[in-house]
Amino acid sequence: MKLLVTGGAGYVGGVCAQVLLEDGHEVVVVDDLSTGNADGVPTGAKFVEGDIATAGVDLIESESFDGVLHFAAQSLVGESVRQPEKYWHGNVVKTLALLEAIRRTETPRLVFSSTAAVYGEPEQVPITEDSAARPTNPYGASKLAIDHAITSYANAHGLAATSLRYFNVAGAYGGLGENRVVETHLIPLVLQTALGHRETISVFGTDYPTPDGTAVRDYIHIRDLAQAHLLALAQSRPGEHRILNLGSGTGFSVRQVISACEQVTGGPIAAVEAPRRAGDPSVLIASSERAVAELGWQPRHHDLTEIVSDAWGFLRSLGDRAHSARR
Ligand SMILES: NC(=O)c1ccc[n+]([C@@H]2O[C@H](COP(=O)([O-])OP(=O)(O)OC[C@H]3O[C@@H](n4cnc5c(N)ncnc54)[C@H](O)[C@@H]3O)[C@@H](O)[C@H]2O)c1
């Protein structure tokens, strides 16, 4: 298929674009490089630098795509609380412009990066797709609003759509990994501390009702996540909007993640205890049973040490690349 990948210079979009290419698809990436890097666009994809609402819309209207995979977004929870306008405009308004281009051109398929943040504080874990969606920040609310818009476009206009609600995506694949200017994700932050790029890693909250008192999250390997995109694309049906959680179904605490990072990097990592952050739930674990049942998805990389090792290999390769560029 000929596919448009928005946000393909970012972490998840870049790896998914790589896996789409490996699967034989033709890939065009549109990305404004606001948080991504041109280096993150995989070799073999055509890259157009620009905004989804302008360059993205132009591409959809001038080329004929079999589908759009929409990863581009603002995705910092704290920033969304301080600057909600950036999220309502950058995520919702711009995605509506894309959806309109998709409708006008009758582009048949859409796969959208939704998030566990739509669920807010869960009433029960593991979290299923039938759990109440009550986001606790504008980021999650903006993604939920897009999910609703996609449902109505699928119903009214026959779009074959899938929203994939990711839990914590981690690891690296094909020489691509997490490499953001503003990093907020736990595994790269801990590994950057191990590399000496940060002095300490903060552990927010040590009094949660969890075995070691620190918050528990579900980490899904980026390669497994990318595989689910291939399946979602192939199995989507006109007029249907599927909503599927993607997680490993296993939870690891902040302390367990730090300890896995120490094991992989081979040395102690300085951690400091800090108060809980407002709105951080104690445990977030996905039920991905629906993705397994409906897509035949089979996640293969459950092991936290493997996820951390892959992320570590990628971060070290960045250092090596910078070193060779200086020589
Ligand atoms: N990483 C995770 O753990 C996680 C979890 C849940 C959901 N998600 C969702 O997955 C998607 C990808 O996340 P990521 O971690 O790869 O983020 P990222 O910041 O690495 O990538 C996002 C990419 O989108 C681009 N972009 C942003 N706004 C744009 C615009 N208006 N026009 C063109 N390009 C634009 C950025 O430059 C960047 O390359 C996002 O939609 C995010 O909300 C990610």
190-245 pLDDT per residue, tens = 999 999 999 999 999 999 999 999 999 999 999 999 999 999 999 999 999 999 99
* Mean pLDDT, residues 103-129: 96
Kindly report, as residue ranges, where domains of CATH 3.90.25.10 are found in the chain: 181-218+249-321
Is 278 exposed, middle or buried, given 0-12, 13-18 or 19+ CB atoms closer than 10 A?
A: exposed
103 CB within 6 A, ligand 1: no
Q: How many helices (H) and strands (E) would you count in the chain?
A: 11, 13
From 35, 162, 219, give the residue whose CB has the most ligand 1 atoms within 8 Å, as the site to mutate. 35
Task: Give 142 Cα–ligand 1 centroid separation in angstroms.
Answer: 13
Is domain 2-169+220-246 annotated with CATH 3.40.50.720? yes
Task: Give 10 Cα–ligand 1 centroid separation in angstroms.
Answer: 6
* Mean pLDDT, residues 110-133: 96
169 CB within 6 A, ligand 1: yes
Question: What CA–CA distance (Å, rounded) separates 190 from 170?
Answer: 12
Looking at residue 280, what is its pLDDT?
86
146 CB within 6 A, ligand 1: no
The one catalytic residue among 87, 119, 139, 208? 139
Looking at residue 235, what is its pLDDT?
96
12 CB within 6 A, ligand 1: yes
32 CB within 6 A, ligand 1: yes
Looking at residue 125, what is its pLDDT?
94
pTM for the full model? 0.97
Kindly report, as residue ranges, where domains of CATH 3.40.50.720 are found in the chain: 2-169+220-246
The residue length of the chain stands at 327
> What is the distance, to the nearest Å, from the Cα of residue 105 to the centroid of all Cα atoms in its chain?
27
Looking at residue 324, what is its pLDDT?
55
Please give the mean pLDDT across all residues of the chain.
95
Structure token digits, residue 246: 């993607």
Ligand 1 nearest-atom number relative to CA 8 = 39
4-60 pLDDT per residue, tens = 999 999 999 999 999 999 999 999 999 999 999 999 999 999 999 999 999 999 999
Task: Give 72 Cα–ligand 1 centroid separation in angstroms.
Answer: 4
Looking at residue 278, what is its pLDDT?
82
* Mean pLDDT, residues 68-94: 97
Looking at residue 279, what is its pLDDT?
80
Please confirm, yes or no, whether 139 is among the known catalytic residues. Answer: yes
Is domain 181-218+249-321 annotated with CATH 3.90.700.10? no
186 CB within 6 A, ligand 1: no
Task: Give 71 Cα–ligand 1 centroid separation in angstroms.
Answer: 5
Looking at residue 302, what is its pLDDT?
85
pLDDT over threshold 90, residue 181: no
Q: Are 42 and 30 in contact (CB under 8 A)?
A: no
51 CB within 6 A, ligand 1: yes
* Mean pLDDT, residues 263-270: 97
> What is the distance, to the nearest Å, from the Cα of residue 100 to the centroid of all Cα atoms in its chain?
23
Looking at residue 180, what is its pLDDT?
86
The pLDDT-based confidence of 322 (bands split at 50, 70, 90) is: low
The pLDDT-based confidence of 110 (bands split at 50, 70, 90) is: very high
- Using alpha carbons, list the distances in angstroms from residue 252 to 60, 135, 191, 195, 218: 41, 22, 16, 22, 6
pLDDT over threshold 60, residue 327: no
- Pairing assessment for the beta strands 251-253 and 216-221 based on DSSP bridges: antiparallel
